[in-house]
Each structure stands twice: as structure tokens, then as C-alpha cells.
Structure 1
Amino acid sequence: MSTNFKHIPYGIADFKQVRNEHLYLVDKTIFFEKMEKAGHFLFLVRPRRFGKSLFLDMLETYYDINEKDNFQELFNGLYVADHPTPEQGEFQVLHLDFSLVGSDLDNLYENFNRYLSQRCLLFAKKYAAYYPDDFLEYMEKEKTGMGMLNLIHGVSHDLDLKLYLIVDEYDNFTNNVLNVKGQQAYHELTHGTGFYRDIFKLFKPMFDRIIMLGVSPITLDDLTSGYNIALNMSLDARFNQMLGFSEKDVREMIRYYKAVGAIGEDKTEDDIITDIKPWYDNYCFSRRSFATDPKMFNCDMVCYYMSTLVDTGYRPDDLVDPNTMTDYGKLKRLIEIDNMEESRLQIIHEIAEKGFIYGTLVSHFPAERIMDYDNFVSLLYYYGMLTIGGVRGESLKLIIPNNNVRIQYYHYMLDEYQTINALPVTDLRNAYDSAALDGDWRPLIEFICKAYHDTTAVRQLIEGERNLQGFMNAYLTLTNYYQVAPEMEFAHGYCDFFLLPNYLTYPMVAHSYILELKYLKTDATEAEAAKQWDGAVEQIKTYAADRKLQSMLHGTQLHAIVIQIKGYDLVKYDEIRNCQKTK
């Protein structure tokens, strides 16, 4: 295998580094001309780890007047090299990343002022040749970042210089304030004479073009009167594919590394797509795009997988990038803002148990209205915890996009259950060993059902059929042996759970499972229980015989298990045999 190939820029957000080191790049420059035509003041919300920072750094390089002579060298081979826009290389660019302000919320103004002052001084030094000789001296005398902005504004305006503002993570520290300090502290920052609001008032009259990216529209709404955004691109079909990778992009990446010999012959293009698609794919960012555009992959996740595969020859043992656990922490804090989480918890439970929820996406809303149903559902969408999965009249069917996100929901629920009734998770993992390797499934089912009984006995909150499904989901996802697929369609019906063997990572797994879970109310009669059981047996026989299911077993022995719960007691469970005749 040749080592002279483009490496994957996982975790790299420096465009010039990507080009100078000849790293692999998916071309997104076709969107530059679309952005220019869309307006001068643009705003975009996308989930974390969708390539926002690298895209903005590429945008800075493209418009930077200091890089005008390097344009062909840096952008050679990309769409924009052959289709430059009228304003290429025409701007002095101020690039701010508010995630770098710091996490010390008690000294937020001081940290923000320090960061803004540093960026303004770097700007003045970078473009000193365009300003009077004493400009930098005057900048250094200013004591605040806002004072420096005002000075840049005044002098650049007198000299008729064009300025471009790029803001990455515009809502980073404001979201931290909201999540940690609560709504009162957040309101003081973004309303009235709050310093962040004052900064925003300077932006529009000062800059000829502005692009701001973040993960939430809340701060935007609360700053609207201070800064009037011309176009929110977040739900605009024209920009649905601007960030993230399409399946075409991913397949082209795989083919490149196959062609240079960086991926072995034992791993086909379709094998890799099949492996990553359930975990990283399925994002849609516009109602109009749902029926026409390809769904988008989380690009950072794809790079995580591909860099591991190319560097080691093996896929990652854990398909969930460990960095996403920081996003899980943010979800928890979001739900628990100001200790008013009950209604939000109900929404989380509904999504986790059903896999979807109906709602309307709201383009922006104030923090004090986060409790409103559509607003909270929209916020989950903007965070990447939901995506557009269908259209139903005026409403959207918002679905959990993939397994990576589904696991975050289940971890939240598991934490909740463990708070109610702490359980020995190590014992559960031992039970999974027995089920996956030996086909001894009874300890696993008994453990989870006992956990359900003990937790429900403490707190009646989770009793009920749908809550039982959510509880099972949370505990079934504690293994890496299987991909847990709830409500998978087989033979024109929906199997409650399919434990799909994760055969690429754990080829030693010899047993797979389908589970049919039945719930009885506490006052159900024996006759009702028997009728329900017989129906479940017929259902699971039909599922087990389905051709699609049989093709997914990868040589493992299938066990068809029916479980019957009455109230919160396990009353019957058994394996249904002789039901694998192919239709």
C-alpha cells in the first residue's frame, strides 16, 4: 500500500492546513455563490460536529484580501476555482469564535472583552498596510474590545474598505449561561444594556457582509432588536446540503481510499456504507428538501470512522465518537434548566419510546418560551437530536436520526432510572455475555424485568406499555454486541426489538434475538393474558420467517422470545421454537 495519499482531516478546522498538507476535502465551495446571492447578513444553525468551523475558515480564506494572490493555489480543483464570485478576495475579515471566550461564567464580561480585544488587535496587525501608520498605536490605546470595534469601523468607513464578519459558535457562551446559571442571568446578558446585546448593535452598520453560525436560534431571537438578521438559512432548502456529507460524498471518499490501497479488499464500499449509515446518516434540514435531497451524514462522525479504518485497518470498536458525550451533557442541562423539567421529560420519554414526535419547526424563539411544546421540540431538532422524517399536513414527523443519537436518549433515561433505583450494571454485562456467546438468554431477560419491577415499585412514573418499551430500550443498549433496532418492520408488522449482531466488531457473537414484549394491566384476566400470549406467539413466528430478517443474521442462531409483563411483574417468558421457515 502506498503511503502517498490524502489523509483525513479529522478534528482539523484550518483550511490552509488542509490544502497545504494535501488532506482529503469534500468540496462545498459551490455554496459560496448561493450565499452571495441570498443576502449580505446570513445566519445558520446546525448541530455540533457538522463541519461548521472548517467551512467558515475556508470562507475566510476565500474572501480575505490578503489571500487574493493565493486563490488559485489554495482553491485549485474545487468548484469555486472555475466559478469565482465577484467579491472573491475583496474583504478584510474579522473571524470570531465565541467558544474560545472561556467557561468561567462568573467573569464572563472580562473574558469576552479580553478575547474580543485580542481578535481586534490581530485584525489591525494583519491589515495594517491598508490603514494609516498610527492606526495600530491608536488601537493599542483602546481599553475595550468594543472601543476597538468602533475605531475599526470609523477608520475603515473613511477609507471605504470592505469588512466581512464571520462568527462561529455565536451562541456558545450564552447557551452555557442559560444551561448553568438559568434564565435570569441569561436575560441580563442578552437584553437591555447587556454587553452581548450592545456588541450586536455594532455589527450590522459596521460590516458589509456577515455570516454567523451556531447550534441554537434562542440567542438570535433575544438579540433581534439589536441586530436585524436579513436571512436565517437554517430551514432554507438551498442550503440543506451545505454542511455534512451526502451518501455520494461518502462513497467517493471510500472509493478514493480503496483506489490508493488504504482500505483492504476484505471491506467493500457497500459493507462500509451498511456499517455507518444507521449510525451517522439520515439528517434533513428543510421541509422542502425531504422528498428531493439525499439525507446527510454527520461529517465529523464519518471522518472519525474513516480515519480509524484507514490508519489501523479496522473500524472503530465503538461507533459512537467519544466526543459526542459532551453533547449528551448539554442535553441533560437543557432539559433541567431552572429545575422546570417535567414537561420536557415527557417529550424526551415520548421520543425515546416511539422514535418520533409530531411538531412544527420554529425558526426562532426567546429563552423564556423554551417550555412551549413546539419550541422545545424545535430546539431538539437544532441540536441534532431530531430530524425531518416525514410531512403530515402542516406538521412534520420529527424522528431520531440514527443510532448515535438514539443512544444519547437512552442514556438519559437510564440515568433517570438509575437515580430512582441503582442497579449493578456489571451484572447486566455478564448476562449479555451469556446471551450473545452462549445463547443463554434467560439471565438477561430476568435481570431487565427485575430492574423494571424494582424501579416501577419505587416510582409509578414509568408504569405503562410505552414506558416499558422505553425502559427496555435503555437497558438493551448497554451492550456493544448488538445494534438494538426497536420497531423494525418484518413481514408487514413491527417487531418490538431486534438485537442485530454487531458482527464486524464482534464476530464471536453466535446468537441474535427478536423480542416481542406484551403488557397487561394489573386487572387483566387469565383469559385475556392467554389470548394476548397466543397472539404474540403467532406474531413472532411471522417475523422470524421473514426473508429480510434471515439475511441480517450473519450466521448467528436466531432466538424468538416472547415476554409478558402484568403491571410491573414478569408473568411469562419463553422462546418460541420451530419458527424459522423461510417464506
Structure 2
Amino acid sequence: MQKKTIAVGNSSFIALIEDQHYYVDKTACFKPLLDSGNFIDLITRPRRFGKTLFMDSLRLFLAINPANPGSTAKQERLFNGLKVREDKNFCDKYMGQVPVLFLSLKGVEGSSFEAAYRALVQKIVDAAKMHAYLLDSPRLDEEDKKLLREYQSRDFMRDLANIDYASSFLKNMLFFLARHFDRQAMLFLDEYDVPLAKAASRGYYNAMCDFVRAFFDTLKPEAGLVLNDRPVLKKAVLTGCLRVSKESIFTGVNNFSINTICSDNVSLSACMGFTESDVLALLDYYGLSSRKQDVKHWYDGYRFGSNDIYSPWDVLNFCQCALSSKNPLEFKPDNYWIGTSSNDVIDEFLGFLTEEDAERMQTLIDGGSIELQINDELNHSDIRRHQSEDFWTLLLFTGYLTIAKHAGYKKYLLRIPNEEIRNTFRSRVQVRFSVENRSFAAHGLKLAEAATRGDVGGMAKVLEPLLKNYVSVRDTATKAPAENYYHGFLSALFACAGNRINDFQSNAESGYGFADIVFSSGYGTDRLGIVIEIKRTARPEELLDAVDNALKQIDEKNYAECLRRMRCRKYYAYGIAFCGKNCEVGGGTLREV
């Protein structure tokens, strides 16, 4: 008998079942979730732990057939042999009986609020078109159908003048579904916090937060529409990476249950991720049972509630790669986690942490545990505070750490879950966090920030104390050109700026020569260019003249020419002159490219 194939990263339940891919059955979690009595359930898990697949399978189990509302033939075929079918009363009550509105906010991002809004609008338009059958409903009036047609029009919805239509989309669509099928509807929002995460990192968090607050307004019982004396919304299920506090976007929402990796809810703790029995069955199916200890050492170790959990992304990747190798029983485990998601926020934190945090990091690398208080209502906007507590909370909720033990109110013993994550720490986090580099990296970030706002005084304020600590006479007393040491010194600083700068180039060919340092910062129409020319003088009194000569050289040799390739419309030019442990910074006027 031919084995089922492994489809890594496939979040479509129907595709997994119909195309004969291996599926790890999580349908036993449907009953405790739907029978909980909670109006809203928010489930947070790290990236790549199966949130979207779980939501998609739940949607398909519940969704009523628009063409034949009494038929459950589709569900009987798709869910045949799965655990949920063992409870006949539950299936009779829910299977194929619920109008469902499903929306994934994954990919709702952009360089500006307007760009992210356009991405969201596309999600709205696609969802409205999935329910196009409502245009023929005898229970919807002409005003309802007119609004539905507007939701299906991308041009109409993309116009920011119509943003109020987008804000009320969930409320209105749930009403249309409930009225057409004459029963309460359910709402599933996958990756609900992605727009907020991206907005926080791109600088338009407040605008996005205001919109999301209005968009989720239907989650308030008193704000939602009513049909037959009942709210049109029966239940909402949301998934995401971080728990967002009610005060930020859920103000006024009641009967709100939150299940995080710190929760003790046994019935939902294994709804996402693989349990040990899941993994053993998978390995046995593919003849890889002898690899159990390798898989456990590399990919196990997470603790969600009372369950030990394996990372599904990594287990499936390992099995797929092992089976395609020459010798599956000798195939060496690899690090599949390291490329799964952006680590920009974590990289950004590393320049702001303390010596105590450095010691904690080393304890974790050495296999120990650390006791910390967790900010379990961490907002994406809070991350910009660069607080130590927020950093460790972020590592926990994004899967870099796991809970070893509950140690008191919001206090936990935390550890690195497995060898794969320890490997990731060594290659990506520990190197950036080394004690000797950490404070230097923080200065590099501050220097880049000053450069991108035209603040010559701020740049000098960063550089002058560093020169006293890092520059000696021996550093510059070589046969190499006089500017070389300072050039390398500045390049090392800017290399620590992480995602605050882009397109960094040293000795970049541009115009009629080679610019010492060029880079860009920002996105879209806000993208700025930076050009720096470096000079070194023999006497401190020559510094100001050297700065002027550097700025003149930038103009005469047209060093800003390369910024057009970086899509910059404006730029700052700087002349920086050094003499031993002294420096002067000049320029900082915003120019057109």
C-alpha cells in the first residue's frame, strides 16, 4: 500500500484529506471549544504550530452547505474516521449546521497604513465573493445586496473614503449570513494580530489600532446586530501569536476566554502542535520509529498547559527530508526553525538589555532555567519600550523558550525547549548578544537613528565617547590610508543597526567615484538615503574644514546617484572628520535625489 505523502506547510484541511497527505487528527478539540460557553475564544501559539490548519478544519466541519443546507455529505466524506465523528450527538448538533465567516489576516501588512489597508481590503473582497450566493437570497433586501456588491468591489473598497464600509464588514456579513440561513453565525479570525505586529514595526500602529478596534466592534454583544431577538454572532474564535490586552482593541468585550501557552486548560492545550503520541504514530507509519530519540531531542520540549508538545513544522520537515535521503535511518536532524519567521524584533531588543540579561542568556544556552515574571498582556506597541520583561515574554510566546515550571503569579521558570532552538540561539541570538558586543550594538542603533533624522548633534553625541573607548593611537598608526580605521569603525557600528537600515554599502561605486558609506532607511515613499564621506586630519583645528571638504566631495562626485537604485527620493549627506579621539559631524540637510 502506497504511503501518504507529507505536505509541509499545507494549511488546507480539504487538500490534505482529498490529496492523500498525512494528517494529524486534532478534531477531538472541536467539542470542548464549541461547548465551552465562551462567546469569544482567543488561542495564541507560536508561528508554525498549526493555527491556520486547525481553524480551516473547524470551519469545514461546521460550515452549512449554501446549495443544500440540510446536507452533511461533504463533512461525512472529509471527516470519516476522525475523532470528532465518534460523538454522534455533537455531530448532529454542529456538523454542517453553522453559517461561518472565516477571515485570515495573515499578510495584512505594508510600508504604510494605506498599503496595509489595501491588503486587508483584498481579504474582505475575497471573503465577500465566497458568499456571493447571498445576492440571490430571498431573505436579504435590496439595501443588503447593494452593500454586499460594494464589498465585492475592490476599487470601491480600496478607496479610503469608504473605510467605514471596511470597518463594519464583519458586523454586516454576519448579519447577512444569519438572516439568509435563519440561525446564528460564527466568526473565525486567523492570525488576528498580524496587522498590529506589522504596524508596530513600520510606524503606523496607532492608525491600525484605531481601525482594528472598529473592525472588531461586532465582538461586543451590545454592538452586534440582532435577529429573532438573538445576537447574529453565536461564537467567535481568534488565533494569533501574542495575546493583546482587552484595553487596546477589545474594550467592552465580555465573556472572553484566552488560551495561551501559559494556560492550564487541558482540553485545548494540544489543539495545535504534536503530542508525543502524534509523533510516535507518525514515525511508525513511515518506518522511522528508530529515530524517536533524535526527534525528541531536537524538536520536542514545549510545554502547553499539561501537555508536552513537539513543533509540527520541524517534525514534518525532518520526516520529509529523511525519507527522501539515501539512508533515512541515519539522516542527521537539521534546524528547520531558523528560517520560519522574521527575527527583526528580537534583533532590535539585543542592544537594550542588561548585564543580568546576558547572564540569563548564557544560563539558557548552558541548559539551565531562569525565573522571570512574564508580561502576559504584551502589546505590539509595548515592544518599542525595549523592556527586559517584554523581551523574555516575546521569546516565550514566539517559541524560543518554554515553561519549565509555574513559580507564582505571572512568574515562571523558563528554558530552551530543544536542541534545534538551542542551535538557533547560538547562531542568531547569542552572537548578537555577546557581552562585549551588546553595548557597542546599542550605540550603532542610536547612530543610525540620528543619521536618518538629520541629527548631526545626535551622531556626534554617539561617536565622541566611543572614540575615547575604542580608538587608540596605535589603531591609526599604520601604513594604510589614514581614513581606513575610522571607515571600518563606522561600518561596524552601522552593521549593528539591524533592520533600521537597508542596502548598506561600503566604498560604493556611485556617480564619479566611490562613496565611503551609503544606505537607505524606511519604506515606500518614506524611504530616505544616507551618504557619508569620511576624512581624517592631523590636527583638531582642521576638523571643520575637513567636514566642509567631505560635503563638497559628495556633491562634486555625485555620490547620491546610487540612491536612485535604492528607490530613495530624498537623502541626507554627512561629512565626518576624525582626529585621534576627536571628531566633527556636518551636513544633515534633507536633499532631493
TM-score, scaled to structure 2: 0.60
Q: 1:325 aligns with which of 320, 339, 347?
A: 339
TM superposition shift of 1:276: 1.5
1:303 aligned onto 2:311: no
TM superposition shift of 1:146: 3.0
- The number of aligned residues is 397
Q: Cα 1:96–1:334, aligned 2, differ >3 Å: closer, same or farther?
A: farther
Counterparts of 1:52-451 in structure 2, within 5 Å, are 52-66=51-65, 68-84=72-88, 85=90, 86-125=93-132, 128=135, 130=137, 131-132=139-140, 135-141=144-150, 143=156, 144-156=165-177, 158-159=179-180, 160-181=182-203, 185-190=204-209, 194-204=210-220, 205=224, 207-218=233-244, 222-225=248-251, 227-228=253-254, 230-234=256-260, 235=263, 236-258=265-287, 269=289, 271-286=290-305, 289=306, 293=307, 295-314=308-327, 319-321=334-336, 324-327=338-341, 329-333=343-347, 335=349, 340=352, 346=358, 348=361, 351-352=364-365, 355-367=368-380, 369-370=382-383, 371=386, 373-392=388-407, 395-410=411-426, 411-416=428-433, 420=437
Letter in 1 for 2:215: I
TM superposition shift of 1:333: 4.6
1:75-127 CA-to-partner distances (Å, cap 9, x unmatched) read: 00101112152222222222111113243335245324422431342243155
In structure 1, the gaps of 5 or more residues are 259-267, 422-456, 460-583
Q: Cα 1:253–1:26, aligned 2, differ >3 Å: closer, same or farther?
A: same
* Percent sequence identity over aligned pairs: 21
Residue in structure 2 matched with residue 435 of structure 1 by the alignment: none
Worse-superposed segment, 310-319 or 200-209: 310-319
Q: Tell me the distance in 2 between the aligned counterparts of 1:136 and 1:186.
A: 33
1:7 aligned onto 2:14: no
Q: Cα 1:229–1:307, aligned 2, differ >3 Å: closer, same or farther?
A: farther
Q: Tell me the distance in 2 between the aligned counterparts of 1:179 and 1:352.
A: 28
Q: Tell me the distance in 2 between the aligned counterparts of 1:140 and 1:344.
A: 58
Q: Cα 1:175–1:219, aligned 2, differ >3 Å: closer, same or farther?
A: farther
TM superposition shift of 1:403: 1.6
CA contact (8 A) 1:170 1:214 kept: yes
CA contact (8 A) 2:169 2:215 kept: no
TM-score, scaled to structure 1: 0.61
Q: Tell me the distance in 2 between the aligned counterparts of 1:156 and 1:68.
A: 18
Q: Tell me the distance in 2 between the aligned counterparts of 1:10 and 1:284.
A: 23
Letter in 1 for 2:214: D
CA contact (8 A) 1:93 1:164 kept: yes
Q: Cα 1:148–1:211, aligned 2, differ >3 Å: closer, same or farther?
A: closer
Residue in structure 2 matched with residue 40 of structure 1 by the alignment: 39
TM superposition shift of 1:378: 2.6
Q: Tell me the distance in 2 between the aligned counterparts of 1:334 and 1:344.
A: 18
CA contact (8 A) 1:109 1:195 kept: no
CA contact (8 A) 2:113 2:208 kept: no
CA contact (8 A) 2:194 2:240 kept: yes
Q: Cα 1:6–1:132, aligned 2, differ >3 Å: closer, same or farther?
A: same
CA contact (8 A) 1:219 1:367 kept: no
CA contact (8 A) 1:91 1:163 kept: yes
CA contact (8 A) 1:221 1:366 kept: no
CA contact (8 A) 1:96 1:119 kept: no
CA RMSD of aligned residues (A): 3.2
Q: Cα 1:393–1:104, aligned 2, differ >3 Å: closer, same or farther?
A: closer
Q: Tell me the distance in 2 between the aligned counterparts of 1:74 and 1:62.
A: 9
Q: Cα 1:382–1:15, aligned 2, differ >3 Å: closer, same or farther?
A: same
Q: Tell me the distance in 2 between the aligned counterparts of 1:221 and 1:165.
A: 21
Q: Cα 1:141–1:26, aligned 2, differ >3 Å: closer, same or farther?
A: closer
Q: Tell me the distance in 2 between the aligned counterparts of 1:164 and 1:60.
A: 9
Worse-superposed segment, 194-203 or 149-158: 149-158
Q: Which has the larger radius of gyration?
A: 2
Q: Tell me the distance in 2 between the aligned counterparts of 1:126 and 1:104.
A: 35
Q: Tell me the distance in 1 between the aligned counterparts of 2:244 and 2:356.
A: 16
- Could you say what secondary structure the match of 1:312 adopts? coil
TM superposition shift of 1:53: 1.2
Letter in 2 for 1:279: W
CA contact (8 A) 1:328 1:408 kept: no
TM superposition shift of 1:365: 3.6
Q: Tell me the distance in 2 between the aligned counterparts of 1:226 and 1:378.
A: 26
- Could you say what secondary structure the match of 2:122 adopts? helix
1:361-409 CA-to-partner distances (Å, cap 9, x unmatched) read: 4442445655555444333211111111134455421111012212222
- Could you say what secondary structure the match of 1:173 adopts? helix
Letter in 2 for 1:139: L
Worse-superposed segment, 138-147 or 24-33: 138-147
- Could you say what secondary structure the match of 2:41 adopts? strand
Q: Tell me the distance in 2 between the aligned counterparts of 1:223 and 1:69.
A: 39
Q: Cα 1:153–1:325, aligned 2, differ >3 Å: closer, same or farther?
A: closer
In structure 2, the gaps of 5 or more residues are 66-70, 157-164, 225-231, 439-468, 472-593
- Could you say what secondary structure the match of 1:272 adopts? helix
CA contact (8 A) 1:222 1:367 kept: no
TM superposition shift of 1:357: 1.4
Q: Tell me the distance in 2 between the aligned counterparts of 1:344 and 1:333.
A: 18
Letter in 2 for 1:198: A
CA contact (8 A) 1:164 1:210 kept: yes
Q: Cα 1:368–1:180, aligned 2, differ >3 Å: closer, same or farther?
A: closer
Q: Tell me the distance in 2 between the aligned counterparts of 1:256 and 1:285.
A: 25
1:134-179 CA-to-partner distances (Å, cap 9, x unmatched) read: 5544412354433544433444455533222111111112112223
1:387-436 CA-to-partner distances (Å, cap 9, x unmatched) read: 11134455421111012212222222213559949xxxxxxxxxxxxxxx
